[in-house]
Amino acid sequence: MKVAIIGAGAVGGLLAARLGATEAEVTLVARPNAAAAIRRNGLTLVTPLNRVARITPRVTDDSLSLGPQDVVFLCVKAHALRGTIDTLTPLLGPETAIVPMVNGIPWWYPHRQPEPLADRPLSSVDPDGLLWRSIDPDRVVGATTFVAVEGDGPCRLRHVSDQRFVFGDAGGGSAGGRENPAVDRIVTLFGQAGFQPAKTADIRQAIWVKLWGNLAFNPLSVLTGSTLGRLCNDPGTREAGRAMMLEAKAVAEKLGVVFTTSVDERIAMAAGVGDFKTSMLQDYEAGRRLELEAILGSVIELAERAGVHVPMLRAVLAMVDLKARERREAAA
């Protein structure tokens, strides 16, 4: 199996390290500076058991040199997906599966869904429909990652906890799914790499379970500067997060999503990660753009389509957006 991973961040680096240890032909596609650094230094991975491994993955900054792949993983922030299109195109053959590893509601979410989604792009995550037009949703295998991994210095990653990934065809869900053999191949590959992969007939339900925690505690982490464990265990921030999650649950259920986990069970799951800085807090502290559109803006847009009132989500989005803008202005 030929596999390309676009993006050499925390998740992309973890996949390059672990999938590269299987029999698959795995190549990490990175920006020129990042590719040069990885060639020079390799990748250092600190495991959840604090074991240190140094890996020398196959890496390139020229996707044209690779030719068509069986699977391409897009391991970039949701707002950076548009910038991957030119890199992605040379990697596509007739049967290539595309697996976006993004937080929040993905651009392909309305694919093959009934009203009020009905194959209409979401302006919050795909403002002019460029992704919808450029990346055929029928190629997409949806993915949800529950691993906690963070950058720990140049070319160094720390895998904090969890091994779980969930995969499913993007055309599945409440509209009725279809069999996609690429899903089985990807699940098998991740199992060979030592992860804990699962296949689902309804990837949207899995997306909401992951997003449920992210949409509450990622923004709250930016507002407070606190770790995930602290936010989940402090009575005040726990209740604020719970209120946000209940609003999001109402939106998802209006769209046909069935939750098999309670709000409090999901909070307990997040608390179990411990003193881990959310990816949004890491981005804020590093001066990077926040994934507000994918994690909060998209849910608010879905709420508007579904006719659900979400005042708490709107208020938190406004506060985090202002804080992020003030930081950018101060840096300028």
Residues 6+ apart with CB under 8 A from 65: none
- Among residues 77, 199, 210, 249, which one is catalytic? 210
At 175, is the pLDDT very low, low, confident or very high (cuts 50, 70, 90)? very low
Mean predicted confidence (pLDDT) in 199-207: 94
Residues 6+ apart with CB under 8 A from 262: none
Q: Specify the range with the lowest mean pLDDT, choosing from 130-139, 249-258, 265-274.
A: 265-274
Cβ atoms of residues 106 and 128 within 8 Å: no
pLDDT recorded at residue 160: 86
pLDDT recorded at residue 178: 64
Residue bearing tokens 């020079």 = 40
Residue 214 has pLDDT above 50, yes or no: yes
pLDDT recorded at residue 174: 46
Q: What is the largest CA-CA distance in the chain?
A: 54
**Global pTM value:** 0.92
Mean predicted confidence (pLDDT) in 221-243: 97
pLDDT recorded at residue 162: 87
pLDDT recorded at residue 221: 98
Cβ atoms of residues 105 and 79 within 8 Å: no
DSSP 104: S
At 293, is the pLDDT very low, low, confident or very high (cuts 50, 70, 90)? very high
pLDDT recorded at residue 240: 98
Average pLDDT value for the chain: 94
At 306, is the pLDDT very low, low, confident or very high (cuts 50, 70, 90)? very high
Homologous superfamily (CATH) for 206-331: N-(1-d-carboxylethyl)-l-norvaline Dehydrogenase; domain 2 (1.10.1040.10)
Q: Report which of 261, 272, 263 is spatially closest to residue 231, judged by C-alpha positions.
A: 272
Residue 38 is encoded by which pair of tokens?
Answer: 């990885």
Q: Report which of 161, 187, 159, 197 is spatially closest to residue 55, judged by C-alpha positions.
A: 159
What is the Cα–Cα distance from 314 to 309, expressed in whole angstroms?
9
Q: Report which of 209, 222, 196, 321 is spatially closest to residue 278, judged by C-alpha positions.
A: 222
pLDDT digits (tens, 9 = 90+) for 70-90: 999 999 999 999 999 999 999
What is the Cα–Cα distance from 34 to 55, expressed in whole angstroms?
15
Bridge-based pairing of strands 141-145 and 164-169 is: antiparallel
The full set of domain ranges for the chain reads: 2-201, 206-331
**Structure-model confidence comparison of residues 328 and 97, the more confident one:** 97
Mean predicted confidence (pLDDT) in 176-187: 84
pLDDT recorded at residue 77: 93
Residue 108 has pLDDT above 60, yes or no: yes
pLDDT digits (tens, 9 = 90+) for 4-31: 999 999 999 999 999 999 999 999 999 9
Start-end of H helices in the chain: 10-19, 32-41, 85-88, 130-134, 181-192, 203-224, 228-233, 235-254, 263-271, 279-285, 292, 298-306, 311-331
At 276, is the pLDDT very low, low, confident or very high (cuts 50, 70, 90)? confident
CATH number of 2-201: 3.40.50.720
Could you tell me the end-to-end alpha-carbon distance of the chain, in angstroms, rounded to an integer?
46
Residue bearing tokens 């803006």 = 297
- 12: number of Cβ within 10 Å: 24
DSSP 140: B
pLDDT digits (tens, 9 = 90+) for 130-144: 999 999 999 999 999
Verify whether residue 249 is a known catalytic residue.
Answer: no
Amino acid identity of 162?
D
